[in-house]
Amino acid sequence: MAVESERPERKGRGRIGALRHCWLLAVMLVITASGCALTGLSGPNVPPEQRAAYDAAMGRLPADAGGAARALENFLAIYPHSSLADDAAEQLSQLSFAVGRQEEGMRWLGRILSNYAKGDRAAPARLRLAQLEYAREKRVVARRLIAPLDLSRLSLSERRAALRLRVALAQTPVARLEELSALRAMLVAESEQRSVQGETERVTRNRLLGRLEAVDREIDEFIGRAASVELEEMIDRLHGRPPAASIALELSRRALDAGQLELAEGRLERSESLVQSEIDLGQFRLLQSRLGQLREIAEAEAELPPLRDLVDRPRPRTDDARGTIGVVLPLSGDFEDYGRGSLRGVLLAADLFADEDAGAPLVEYPDEGVEGDFGGSGGRGREIRLVVRDSEGDPAKAAAAIRELARDADLVAVIGPIFSAESSAAAHAAEEVGIPLVTLSTREDVPVGRAHAFRTRTTPADEVGVLVGHAFDALGAERFAVLYPQTRYGRGMRKLYWDAVTARGGKMVAASSYAPEAVDFASAMRNMIGYRFLTNLEERALQERDELLRSARRLEPADALLLRDAAYTILGPELEPLPPIIDFDVLFIPDAADKIALIAPGLAFHEIRGVSLLGSSDWVDDELLRVARRHVSGAVVSTPFYPESDLPFVAEFVEGYRNTFGSEPDAYAAEAFDATNLVLVQLSAGRTDREGVRAGLLDTRAHPGATGVLTMHPNGNARRRPFLLQISGRRFRPLD
């Protein structure tokens, strides 16, 4: 309606939402359906002659659209200031669109905005123009049209369309989410107003709820993709309106994922004040629970001192331990040697041979048919019964053994198995029957989600973590490199190393690999030090430098050194340093000792000097010290077990093992020895039922043993501090 007769009520004519692809058909249908109903409308301040002229023009529809258009144009020429003038202009725009004259239709809409800006046709006309400009990919024009639009002057369906367009035209993520929030609020209000009594209203409300769910999904996806700094700005702009709670919870989740516990706690406090729905409340409680678990883990990780620091502390008491313990190990089959070594560790910890002559090996230890019961009274007041079962390395048999052992009401815990598949099957069975299981696996997923499963063996992550910690804390390293074999183990160790370095704020500057069967590592080394991508000019400069270096060989040592130093100061054609570019402080090589014996001399040959070497437990081999000698001098390695250690926890175990079994212990025996002692500590403390043992295992902190220090995480995974050794001359020297 024109400005002269502005009124709040709408005149009841059909409205057309201008769609991007089908607006022509929609316009024609609306005009046809509503043309007859438009006659006879009454409104204040419409003189009878104007009403008659307008009704006569509209009465020509739908049969004579051309005649109707001419009559409406004539109406505007005679009555340009009529309260029906904006209606006539709108009808002319619809008629133009219906016959495909889009530019003409848009001009009529523009005329409404310019001549009748305060009429009730102006807001729909502005929306229609913005939609059409957006459909023509004129986003700037569409944005300029939609920005000042007063949504209160639109119908509900038009408001939804306007907000949808504003979402599409938003220039920043924050603005887009604001418009989505406004659209959501409108849908919520509209759905709440709808009565659920009538069938028509029920269908309409269900349709609205479907739209609301779609908007919620869009908001959730958007929040998940947005940067944290954008989410923080969105919360400030929303002033507590939805989806402020969802954003706050997402920011809390991100802080937890990053291990930023203090930040997560502050964000959760803010989330609590914003949460309104039951769904958000459930998410909030889950995040709170996760924060509590991560705090427990952080505290546990802080309780891993070097083993030497625990020498003067009272030892965990295992005297007077009494009870029955199950053992499930691969005592036959492909993994027999590992299982038998582990069983010996269990037997030694249980102290079943205390009455034997300490100076003579236990000749009665059975090499065959080891299944059965071992029991007796030890020399320190112990009364331990072991019930041993052979898993044969078979997951199904391991699980069956757990179920069988659980039927013994006196049996409070089970030790074993060792390897991942049988350990997972055994853990599943232990959870079913509710008996604590202490596995000797390295697979960290074995106990996760299982209240009765534990894992105690030192993992590769433990080994890598202590190496990286030493590099930061003792060596002051900031830049790191890795040279690794293209094997599953090598790639896994590279990832663990990379993650540990970046978690401490270090920088990975080089990573190179070689084939598992390689005996020549020159290419892999050269890739680390800048030879991988060279221009022709750089290659020519390197050839000139090589000529100087060859000349140096014919000079006296002092003169040769001067010439070599000068050669390595030559810059490239763009005044950049030429290879070798040694831009790392530490180099980690996770491979076996025989490969390291080949690699280490090559590092010196390729001028990789002044770099600290880090190695895994596979380096611990006296043959490496003999062959590589000075090339590995000063290297630091980590290992879960070092039988030459002078620490009493280790030395006593090694001596007891030698005296009892007449052989040298390996890491499997030592790990099983320590795992058994964890259970014995619980029995000695008076925890004589399964739930008591389980609770005690979870509460284990900084437990010293033959394989280092152990702390149990709330998820049942032990965190270990392995031994650190440094190569010095022809021996490995403990650093702990």
Same fold? 314-456+645-720, 461-534+579-639 = yes
3-32 pLDDT, tens per residue?
Answer: 333 333 333 333 333 333 333 333 333 333
State residue 356's pLDDT score. Answer: 47
> Taking 60 as the threshold, does the pLDDT of residue 485 lie above it?
yes
Strand partners, 322: 383
Q: Is 296 exposed, middle or buried (0-12, 13-18, 19+ CB in 10 A)?
A: middle
**182-191, 327-336, 390-399, 694-703 — which is least confidently predicted?**
182-191
Spell out the CATH class of 3-169: mainly alpha
Mean pLDDT of the chain: 83
Q: Of 3.40.50.2300, 3.30.1330.30, 3.40.50.1820, 3.40.50.10860, which CATH number belongs to 314-456+645-720?
A: 3.40.50.2300
One-character DSSP codes across 118-179:
TSTTHHHHHHHHHHHHHHTT-HHHHHHHHTT--GGGS-HHHHHHHHHHHHHH-SSHHHHHHH
Q: Give dist(CA 447, CA 51) in Å, integer.
A: 83
Sequence spans of domains, the chain: 3-169, 190-302, 314-456+645-720, 461-534+579-639
> Taking 80 as the threshold, does the pLDDT of residue 529 lie above it?
no
Q: Of 2.60.40.10, 3.40.50.2300, 3.40.1160.10, 3.40.190.10, which CATH number belongs to 461-534+579-639?
A: 3.40.50.2300
One-character DSSP codes across 361-413:
--TT--SS---EEEEEE-TTS-EEEEEEEE-TT-HHHHHHHHHHHHT-TTEEE
436, 693 in Cβ contact below 8 A?
yes
State residue 483's pLDDT score. Answer: 95
270-279 pLDDT, tens per residue?
Answer: 999 999 888 8
State residue 459's pLDDT score. Answer: 93
Burial per residue of 446-468, b for 16 or more beta-carbon CB atoms within 10 angstroms, e otherwise: bbeebebbbbbbbbbbbbbbbbb
699-713 pLDDT, tens per residue?
Answer: 898 899 999 999 998
610, 519 in Cβ contact below 8 A?
no
State residue 15's pLDDT score. Answer: 33
> Taking 70 as the threshold, does the pLDDT of residue 629 lie above it?
yes
State residue 381's pLDDT score. Answer: 56
**6-15, 441-450, 574-583 — which is least confidently predicted?**
6-15
> Taking 80 as the threshold, does the pLDDT of residue 550 lie above it?
no
> Taking 50 as the threshold, does the pLDDT of residue 35 lie above it?
no
Handedness of CA 139, 141, 147, 151 (dihedral sign): negative
270-321 pLDDT, tens per residue?
Answer: 999 999 888 889 999 999 998 887 777 666 666 678 888 888 888 888 888 9
Q: Give dist(CA 202, CA 275) in Å, integer.
A: 29
State residue 76's pLDDT score. Answer: 93
The mean pLDDT of 412-418, rounded to a whole number, is 97
The mean pLDDT of 440-464, rounded to a whole number, is 94
State residue 376's pLDDT score. Answer: 55
Q: Give the single-character DSSP code of 484.
A: E
- Please state the pTM of the whole predicted model: 0.59
Q: Give dist(CA 291, CA 279) in Å, integer.
A: 19
> Taking 80 as the threshold, does the pLDDT of residue 146 lie above it?
yes
State residue 425's pLDDT score. Answer: 97
> Taking 60 as the threshold, does the pLDDT of residue 578 lie above it?
no
Of 16 and 476, which is predicted with more confidence?
Answer: 476
The mean pLDDT of 393-410, rounded to a whole number, is 96
> Taking 80 as the threshold, does the pLDDT of residue 102 lie above it?
yes
502, 473 in Cβ contact below 8 A?
no
Sequence-separated (6 or more) residues with CB below 8 Å from residue 102: 96, 132
**165-169, 199-203, 664-668 — which is least confidently predicted?**
199-203
